[in-house]
Structure 1
Amino acid sequence: MGCLPYPRLPMYWRAVTRLEIIGGLMSRDRFLTLRNALHVVDSDSPPPTEIGNPLWKVQPMINQIKRACNKLERVPGFYSIDEQMIPFTGRCQQRRVVKNKPRPVGFKNFVLTTSEGLMLDFDIYRGARTTFGDTNLGLGPSVILHLSKSIPPGSCVYHDRYFTTVPLIEEMNKLNLHARLAKRAMPRVWLA
């Protein structure tokens, strides 16, 4: 479903648009039952290490995705850092509404991608609880510095004006990273 996205979930099981690899595997009702009953953790209370983390129920999945992203090769080249919305319409205090986004309601996510749109790293915004290390330069620059830690020296990092400050550009020069302002910084990254 992530490789062949349809605009509506039932389309995978309709006669005209049916994909046998999905529709033949299980019925639509069985898929919806499994999707609605999916639990990542086996408890109703957070473990002591996750107290204060509003995403503790899905944190094991987030950690697994981050580990897979961190294994991807990074070579000197062109990278992009921007914000992305993870669609979510349920109830959660971390849910944000960002106007002028293709999907304005969901979790705000800061993403590092290659020039081809491959996601290399990300951090979900958790409001004041978000830790990006040194925040002396402000939220935007701290996001750039945090996500660019794994980028090889000599690379070029594109980002939009939301993140840009003169101290950030000076700090990037110290790290031998070239900061570039882009009108549209990030290629579209689709999440399944």
Structure 2
Amino acid sequence: MSDKGYWKRPLTLAQLLEELEKDDVVDFPEQILIFPPENANDDCDTDEDSGDEDLVVPDNLPGAQLSAEVEVQSSENNSQDWDSDDNKPLSTFVERRPKVLKNFEYESSDLEITTFSDWKDVSSVQNNLSPAATFKLFFDQEQKNRAGDIAADELLCFIGVLLLSGYVPLPRKKMFWQNRDDTNNKLVCEAISRDRFQYIMSNLHCNDNTKLNKADKYSKLRPLFDILNKKFFEYAPAEENHSIDESMIPYFGRHSGKQFIRGKPIRWGYKFWIGALRLGYIVYFDPYQGSSTTLPEKYKHMGLGASVVLQYADILDTMHYDFFHLYFDNFFTSISLLKELKLRNIKATGTLRENRLPHSPLSKAATLKKKERGVFEYVLADKEVVVAKWNDNSVVSVASNALQIFPVWIDKLYNKKATTATTATAVRAGAGAAVSY
């Protein structure tokens, strides 16, 4: 969320309404984001509207909603309206410097035959285990707790209820044990008692609270993350193609690691970096911690996106297989990253942002979009990375250190600009074949 405007944060909806009723308000918010109430029925006996019931106005909202937090953005940054410099956002003091990109040498040619060897299929054991047996591969006896009276089967039942509550959501988990037809869950009631579940919930810890790393926002769960990553890696099938991307876990509560990403299907929640195989098997995951993220010193000069890819490449190096092929989107891709991966004998392909190809001879997206569909251009950067840009439903740019442009082939695509539902013939470059359609 932008730090524009003079509104103090955090604000509740009730406080914001009071601020807007003042006569001296000169900077009305351009946008208001209202967080969901934590629990509309937890601390109050009713969810009826506030205020006089005979006078219906927009301010008469339920108490739970009025106490929900809001974030506001004003149309202008009226710095003179701040009470003091201490209340100003840091963005008003920081001088933003444009990032200087390296100039690459370009030539109008295709990528030469690469020195990468072909992937040799590695025989892997087929998984014929039951779902429960497969689950126990990842949550096994290695994850021990302090001495207590909780049996391993009870802990498995507890985890099972947590998983069930993810796709059978109720306002409160204890409602699974209520004697009501609309909430009672027979499966849960027969597996574990309510009091036993609450007892485990109140005593379960993944880390020693006296030894937490204050620089790590996920320190309380870090041992669990490390064990799961170890297990994911141990049982990962041996495959050539790996995908690296971000994944959002929805969450509306309070936590310093919560992220807001505008325009995404899941805007609020935890963001994780994910390394996965073709069918979705997760090999590695790591939570993103926002501005407090500490990049490895050896990768700091490459930036955040490249650092995530290179850390995942370090993990793959320990698998003792050669010639992996990594795929990622334009958040991660840069010419420098692809060149670095080639030095490591790792193939890589990804979509590319136009501003990460400085001073290239390729046409700008706005120019290319005016041409007929299927038109493409390509260029070779530093004799190591080929970049193709073509006009599809939108202008697409893709870069690769392993795939060649030619040969191209003719494909039939739906033409949304045609007056009738027809297909259009388009030429696709070889490097474009690496991107899923």
TM-score, scaled relative to structure 2: 0.36
Larger CA Rg, structure 1 vs 2: 2
The number of residues matched between the two structures is: 180
Kindly indicate whether the alpha-carbon contact (under 8 Å) linking 1:50 and 1:56 is maintained by their aligned counterparts in 2: yes
Kindly indicate whether residue 148 of structure 2 is the aligned counterpart of residue 148 of structure 1: no
1:68 partner letter: K
- 1:149 Cα shift? 1.9
In structure 1, distance between residues paired with 2:340 and 2:207? 43
TM-score, scaled relative to structure 1: 0.75
Hey, what does 1:177 align to over in structure 2?
Answer: 346
Please, which runs of 5 or more residues in structure 2 have no aligned partner?
1-159, 352-395, 397-437
Hey, what does 1:189 align to over in structure 2?
Answer: none
Q: CA RMSD in A?
A: 3.2
Hey, what does 1:6 align to over in structure 2?
Answer: 167
Q: Indicate how the Cα distance of structure 1 residues 33 and 111 shifts in structure 2: closer, same or farther if over 3 A, else same.
A: same
Kindly indicate whether the alpha-carbon contact (under 8 Å) linking 1:87 and 1:106 is maintained by their aligned counterparts in 2: yes
**Greater relative contact order, per chain length (Cα 8 Å cut-off, separation 6+):** 1
2:326 partner letter: V
Alignment of 1:5-154 (within 5 A): 6-9=167-170, 21-26=187-192, 29-30=194-195, 33=198, 37=202, 39-41=204-206, 44-45=209-210, 47=211, 50-73=213-236, 75-133=238-296, 134-151=299-316, 152-154=321-323
Kindly indicate whether the alpha-carbon contact (under 8 Å) linking 2:245 and 2:273 is maintained by their aligned counterparts in 1: yes
In structure 1, distance between residues paired with 2:269 and 2:241? 28
- 1:176 Cα shift? 1.7
Secondary structure of the 1:37 match is: helix
Please, which runs of 5 or more residues in structure 1 have no aligned partner?
184-192
In structure 2, distance between residues paired with 1:177 and 1:83? 21
Q: 1:31-89, CA deviations, whole angstroms, 9 ceiling, x for partnerless residues?
A: 873575353157554x1x62322222222222221221221235241110000112333
- 1:104 Cα shift? 2.3
Identity over the aligned pairs, expressed in percent? Answer: 24
Kindly indicate whether the alpha-carbon contact (under 8 Å) linking 1:153 and 1:175 is maintained by their aligned counterparts in 2: no
